[in-house]
Structure 1
Amino acid sequence: MIQQNQRSFSAGQMMATPDVLHQIPEYEVQRALARHLAGDWGDCCQEDAGANDAALQTGGRLFSVYHTADGITFWIITEADRSATTVLLPENY
């Protein structure tokens, strides 16, 4: 498991979908991005968390799940080549 509060990979270009920009407060997005970049995968299932931990070694895609204080679920995905990290709602996938 990656030690939290330790940046473990490059985020590349950071993007967010229009729905995220309209529905989620910026401070909640920023907090989740900090967690994602520290290797805290949020509320993703154990299988996805394990895949993320392996992807840090092998270069695969990274996927995290977070929830706002109002209960909105959103995802953060970093591409396998680390060129981009996108914040999106599940329905935007």
Structure 2
Amino acid sequence: MPLFSCGTVVATPAVMTHFSENKIEFEQYLIRRHLQSDWGDVPPGDAIANDFAVENGLRILSAYVAANRRFWVITEADRSVTTFLFPEEY
């Protein structure tokens, strides 16, 4: 069960290409992890900050690796949009 709303899910063109080429189902698998507070590969302090953010309406950032590429999933504080992007695109 989702712990927060993700709003509109978007991804950068580079992430879309990477996911498509590697047959990665981001909407069905990765967004579910993010919405269920599986923050992926973030430091413990960032995981604690994400838990606080869920409860207090702040920005949430998860980090995952798929097909040997690290990417971020960021949900904005107002929960209007969740973006998939590579760290270098931030």
Taking structure 1 as the reference length, the TM-score comes to 0.87
After superposition, give the CA deviation of every residue in 1:47-90 in whole Å (9 maximum; x if it has no partner): 1110000011111100000001x310010000001010000011
Percent identical residues:
46
Residue of structure 1 equivalent to 2:34: 36
Pick the aligned partner of 1:88 from 81, 85, 90: 85
**CA RMSD, aligned part only?**
1.2
Aligned 1:5-84 pairs, distance under 5 A = 6-25=1-20, 27-30=24-27, 31-68=29-66, 70-84=67-81
**Unpaired segments of 5 or more residues in structure 1?**
1-5
Q: Secondary structure at the match of 1:27?
A: coil
Counting matched residue pairs gives: 87
Q: Secondary structure at the match of 1:67?
A: strand
Matching residue's letter, 2:7: G
Taking structure 2 as the reference length, the TM-score comes to 0.89
**Unpaired segments of 5 or more residues in structure 2?**
none
Matching residue's letter, 1:74: F
